[in-house]
Amino acid sequence: MNKEMKNLAEWSIKTAKAAGAEECRVNIDSERFVQISYHQKKPESIREASKKELSLQIFANKRYAGQRTSDLRKDALKTFITNAVVTTKLLAEDPFRTLPDPKYYKGRANINLEIFDKEYEKLTPEGRHEIVKTIENSVLQRGGKKIITVTATEYDNRYESVVMTSNGFFGYNEATIYFAGARVTAQGVGDRRPNGYNFVASVSQEGLPLPENIGQVAAERTLDLIGGKKIKTETLPIIIENRNVRRVLGGLIAGMSGQRIQQRQSFLIGKKNTKIASDKLTIIDDPLIQGGLGSRLYDRDGFAAKKRSIIDKGVLKDFYVDWYYSRKLGWEPTTGNPSNLVIPPGKRSVKEIMKDLGRGILVTGFIGGNSNSTTGDASIGIIGKLFEKGIPVQTVVEMNIADNHLKFWQRLSEVANDPWIYSSWRTPSLVFTDVVVSGV
Amino acid sequence: MKPISRRSFLKTSAMASLAAAMSPLLPDTLYSLSRANNPYYFEKEFGITDDICQKVLAKALSKGGDFADLYFENTIYNWLMLEDGKVNQAYSQVALGVGIRTVKGDQMGYGFTQELTEESMLAAAATAATIADGISKKPAKQFIPLKLKNYYPLKKLLTSVPLNTKLPIVQKVNDKCFDLSPLIIKANVTFHDEQKRMMVVTSDGIKAEDLLPRNYLVALVVAEKNGKRERGFWALGGRHPFSYYTNEVVDEITKTAVDRAITLFDAKPAPAGEMPVVLAPGPTAVLLHEAIGHGMEADFNRKKMSTYCTMIGKKVAEPFVTILDDATMPNMLGSINVDDEGTPGQKTVLVEKGILTSYMHDKISATYYKVKPTGNGRRQSYEHYIQPRMRNTYMLPGPATPEEVIKSAKNGIYVEAVSNGEVKIGEGDFAFYVSQGRLIENGKLTAPIKDMNIMGNGPKMLKNVIMVANDLGMSRSGTGACGKGGQRVPTGFGMPTTLVKSMTVGGVKRRM
């Protein structure tokens, strides 16, 4: 517990109330990070700094405003808070803006989420350089002469936050995060220079793959892109690789936002407890996974975090509704944003599934694209491997898939056994049938 | 309200963030531009003297290095948001700090601090210095202020605009949207303004200060008809004075947003496959930005990552194609008086009459290529280091009329509105998302289409530009932000009506 941060939060609330706020929430965030990149076997950039910022949400005369500052000197802060209250009172009244009912703060899990790496302080500057050097060397070793250039990177961050409200909420969070990876360019056919990458994240250094493995995978993923071309427009089964599922799933999750529903910008309005996907799709929001990148004991409103079923065998079970939009909608609140999203893994590997499918495309990357949360229409470019009889035969690029989410997720035919654990969205590879892949 | 001095007011970042909101309560003269726009802002408000800069730069070069620079920033961001008929949310943020960089060849050490004290700056400089391991170097003994042209002059600071002057404009946008059509069921309106003060001080004796305004007004509407919903969006903005936001601007935003939403009820399924694509003038220049712009940022070429890295001096397009990156366009979002490492704003010809002529350089790449920096060294904030970035990228107009271009396409699609683009630098493959367009059938614009990704290959697409019209339009939204290496910077773009012989259209309907 950082007492200095807690005392500052307490003082900020007292100051806000003295200035005329009826209610307020204070967040204080403090972090220190280091980022090192290597290129051509020497440091390309070393970046290191500390940050501390205070955010204030003011509720005054049924009005609301939010402010953020990095100037934490007491005299400056006092003026800041006083004036924030004055600003708030100039806005239009909004009776839905209040702090949450404190009953939702209760029931916080009494567990250690293990999102702070106790070994963090042992990471030395030399150790960091060694990690990055190893990643770069393993790319070069695995990729050989085909590699034109590599940039290997390590980033680590130690983060603390205090949240306090005037109606009794207090939360303290201490976490670490590590990123490591490499961006690689290889010599392709003609002028083409395929860029590949491999980046992984974890709350602990131990949770990352070995640097050698990170580099090898980066090299292999880049070499796999050589010779890419587009093929004829065709209806095919596709497998979206585990690490890339988030890009497509994000369009579906966006429709579950309470804000979008209340603002009539969601294609999922009126779809609760209806079937919006095939039986194969189950999504659980689990904030209490130990060591999870999205783990938390409380959400942005201060609600005690709970495991929730979002989609169960294709049936939409819940929306992401925060306190404010729950009041506007007249609904019971859930939580405003996802924590760890888990799609329970299936039984078979991607290789086994490819063998069974015969001909299809394994999607290993996306390009461009977007999703319309109001209508559910989506279109996105794909990069991947055409496989025949289960064996990759051609790298494909400059191709596209387009559909409406309400139809697309009905095509989900299988979930593989390979959840991607280096993200808060723990998604296995997903198999979709009868997808129009447009190309030549 | 207890009166306070201007100096202590502005020194307090917290208060500065509230300047706009508070101004109804404080005399306007407190923020008058004639005083506030004086040079030496950071010296006057934060006590940053040349002596201190020299000490910090000396620390940054204490282990050697080619050069070092300091980037001071004080930015005030404000957002006013309307939802469900009322301006009921306001947000402000202050960014105050200094970034310190030491450069040795193509290597860079970087530290930053949010405390503008000598002690904190020296500590950040010590971090930056770790990139070098040689003998210390001395910075210049004096810093010469750069005389700069001003491409976004202000008569009045944005922070001096009273909140009660902004509120009615936001409200008016909402009310007009509902007046324009009974089909509108929701409107979200945002007014954003920001005012960045920056100062660059370099170890080779340059000192440059700038005051960069940025603002935009956005309407997003949802329309409902026969149980179907569509949304429309339009924004106007850039580096404008507040006086830009007239009734005419409000009319254009509301009419365009509402028209776009309603038109989409008649949209037909977009086609899929390769076909001719005509780009409407203005915002569709995202295509130039993605397909060509990023590939011509010099860091990607210096590192041999870009497909354009061997193409300088070579023919890449037809002779009627000329592409520029330009910091000097008045009030445009990508305009800068000076870049973030002290090179004055300028115009760079990237492709001249079909020949690739220049990359976009920062100081590191300019040294590598033995050319002058082009003023493209930019960063998101003091927390971030310099990268070569675009400013306003556009294609010059050609000889044809827009009607001739559309007629020549015969059958294809016409792209009117885009959102989101991405490029694979090494392959040159790019994609951008078309939120709205029209079918071209027998040389004429017909049914609306929407929500499709369009893809191509940059060098191939450039060669496939077969017709350019005489109607250059620039994107005027003020909302454009380009992402690269975890940093977002405001950029502008523009192009005339342009015919690309063939691109892959990612619709849902098989070939027309």
CATH number at residue B207: 3.30.2290.10
Q: Is residue B219 one of the residues assigned to a domain?
A: yes
**pLDDT, position B29:** 30
Do B251 and B286 lie in one domain? The reply is no
Do B207 and B283 lie in one domain? The reply is no
- Window 266-325 of A: residues touching B by CB (8 A cutoff) are none
Q: Is residue B512 one of the residues assigned to a domain?
A: no
Overall size of chain A counted in residues: 440
Overall size of chain B counted in residues: 512
In order, the DSSP letters of B428-483 are: -EEEEEEEEEEEEETTEEEEEE--EEEEEEHHHHHHTEEEEBS--EE---S--EEE
- Window 277-306 of B: residues touching A by CB (8 A cutoff) are 290, 303-306
Our CA angle for B306, B308, B311, nearest 5°, is 150
Do B190 and B291 lie in one domain? The reply is no
Q: How confident is the model at residue A281 (pLDDT cuts 50, 70, 90)?
A: very high
Do B277 and B224 lie in one domain? The reply is no
Task: Compute CA distances A243 → A365, B51, B441, B506, whole Å.
Answer: 9, 51, 41, 23
Q: Is residue B1 one of the residues assigned to a domain?
A: no
Contacting residues of A for B231, CB less than 8 Å apart: 265, 372, 374
The lowest-confidence range among A65-79, A411-425, B144-158, B179-193 is: A65-79
Do B413 and B469 lie in one domain? The reply is yes
Average pLDDT over residues A297-325: 98
Do B232 and B321 lie in one domain? The reply is no
Structural contact between residues B394 and B285, judged by C-beta atoms closer than 8 angstroms: yes
Distance, CA of A345 to chain centre: 19
pLDDT at A80 over 90: no
Q: Name the DSSP class of A93.
A: -
Residue B59, C-beta contacts closer than 8 angstroms, at least 6 positions apart: B122, B125, B126, B129
Do B101 and B209 lie in one domain? The reply is yes
Do B212 and B299 lie in one domain? The reply is no
State the total domains in chain B: 2
The domain boundary residue, chosen from B245, B263, B281: B263
Residue A3, C-beta contacts closer than 8 angstroms, at least 6 positions apart: none
What does the radius of gyration of chain A's CA atoms come to, in whole angstroms?
24
Structural contact between residues A207 and A291, judged by C-beta atoms closer than 8 angstroms: yes
Structural contact between residues A434 and A237, judged by C-beta atoms closer than 8 angstroms: yes
For chain B, list residues with pLDDT below 50. Answer: 1-36, 512
Q: Is residue B77 one of the residues assigned to a domain?
A: yes
Closest CA to B423 of B460, B463, B396: B460
The domain boundary residue, chosen from B235, B263, B291: B263
pLDDT tens digit string along A88-104? 999 999 999 999 999 99
Q: Which two tokens stand for residue B349?
A: 């010809």
**pLDDT, position B157:** 87
Contacting residues of B for A194, CB less than 8 Å apart: 424, 426-427
The phi, psi pair for A175, rounded to 5°, reads -145, 160
Task: Give the chain B residue nearest A50 (alpha carbons).
Answer: B113
Q: Which domains does chain A have, with CATH numbers?
A: 3-30+49-105 (3.30.2290.10), 120-223 (3.30.2290.10), 234-438 (no CATH)
Nearest to B18 among A83, A368, A436 (CB): A83
Q: Is residue B103 one of the residues assigned to a domain?
A: yes
Do B256 and B297 lie in one domain? The reply is no
Closest CA to B125 of B137, B114, B140, B109: B109
Domain that holds residue B243: 6-263
Q: Which two tokens stand for residue A274?
A: 């209806």
Do B42 and B189 lie in one domain? The reply is yes
Task: Compute CA distances A297 → A97, A109, A115, A172, whole Å.
Answer: 23, 6, 11, 10
Q: Is residue B49 one of the residues assigned to a domain?
A: yes
Interface test with chain A among B504, B505, B510, B512, by most A beta carbons within 10 Å? B504
Structural contact between residues A409 and A251, judged by C-beta atoms closer than 8 angstroms: no
pLDDT tens digit string along A372-401? 999 999 999 999 999 999 999 999 998 999
Question: What was the ipTM of the complex prediction?
Answer: 0.91
Do B251 and B390 lie in one domain? The reply is no
Task: Give the chain B residue nearest A400 (alpha carbons).
Answer: B506
Instruction: Say yes or no: B457 contacts chain A, CB-CB below 8 A.
Output: yes
Interface test with chain B among A40, A47, A126, by most B beta carbons within 10 Å? A47
User: CB B106 to CB A233 under 8 A?
Assistant: no
Average pLDDT, chain A: 95
User: CB B13 to CB A70 under 8 A?
Assistant: yes
The domain boundary residue, chosen from B263, B283, B302: B263
Do B64 and B181 lie in one domain? The reply is yes
Q: Are strands B206-225 and B144-145 parallel, antiparallel or unpaired?
A: parallel
Task: Give the chain B residue nearest A148 (alpha carbons).
Answer: B304
The phi, psi pair for B477, rounded to 5°, reads -75, -30
Q: Is residue B421 one of the residues assigned to a domain?
A: yes
Average pLDDT over residues A260-274: 97
CA distance A307 to chain B (A): 31
Interface test with chain A among B384, B385, B415, B455, by most A beta carbons within 10 Å? B455
Our CA angle for B351, B356, B359, nearest 5°, is 85
Q: Is residue B459 one of the residues assigned to a domain?
A: yes
pLDDT tens digit string along A193-250? 999 999 999 999 999 999 999 999 999 999 999 999 989 889 999 999 999 999 999 9
Q: Find the helix or strand (DSSP H, E) in which A259 lies.
A: helix A258-262
What is the Cα–Cα distance from B208 to B141, expressed in whole angstroms? 16
